[in-house]
Amino acid sequence: MLYCKAIFGRNLSVKQGGSLSVFCFVDEVLEVKKNESLTASFTLRGDEEFLQDHFDGFPVMPGVLLLESLKQAASKLLEFSEVFKTAFFRLAAAEEVKFGQFVKPGNNLKIFVKLLKREETFVFLEGRIDLVSETASPKKALTANFVLTPVEI
């Protein structure tokens, strides 16, 4: 068994080689402004299962998983903000999704999400993922506006 310290503060067991798989795309929460925004970091190590076939000879993080990174960071913001009684959310919509740089093994990501508004059970957010390094200025990997809604488990 592998264990992943999920962004929800719980240890989730993951069966290696089985059908259950959990990817955690938030390594660390860097800053939280309750009910406003959250900044987190993630490093693509290179041994992630999804890189094995995306793409042969040119491994990059799939765009849908970049969007998942924003969702996970936003879920953490909502958990800190105590907006809902659950820490689990699903993506209800994504708009104005714009991709920039490829995310390759060894890249460090800065994930930023900002709460825009709430309408009933829908939470509207904007997010940005940048590639960061000590030697160069940040480069955009993804920007998007998206909507989350809680999932009761």
Return d(Cα 87, Cα 150) in angstroms, integer: 8
Whether the Cβ atoms of residue 134 and residue 109 lie closer than 8 Å to each other: no
Q: Which of 23, 54, 81, 91 is catalytic?
A: 54
Which tokens belong to 130? Answer: 């940048």
- What is the number of other CB atoms lying within 10 angstroms of the CB of residue 74? 27
Residue 145 identity: N
Distance separating alpha carbons of residues 82 and 103, to the nearest angstrom: 32
Cα–Cα distances in Å, from 13 out to 20, 27, 51, 104, 110?
Answer: 9, 17, 21, 26, 26
The neighbour count for residue 9, using CB atoms within 10 Å, is: 9
Peptide bond into 88 cis (omega under 30): no
Q: Name 113's bridge partners.
A: 38, 127
The verdict on whether 54 is a catalytic residue reads: yes
Annotated catalytic residues are 54
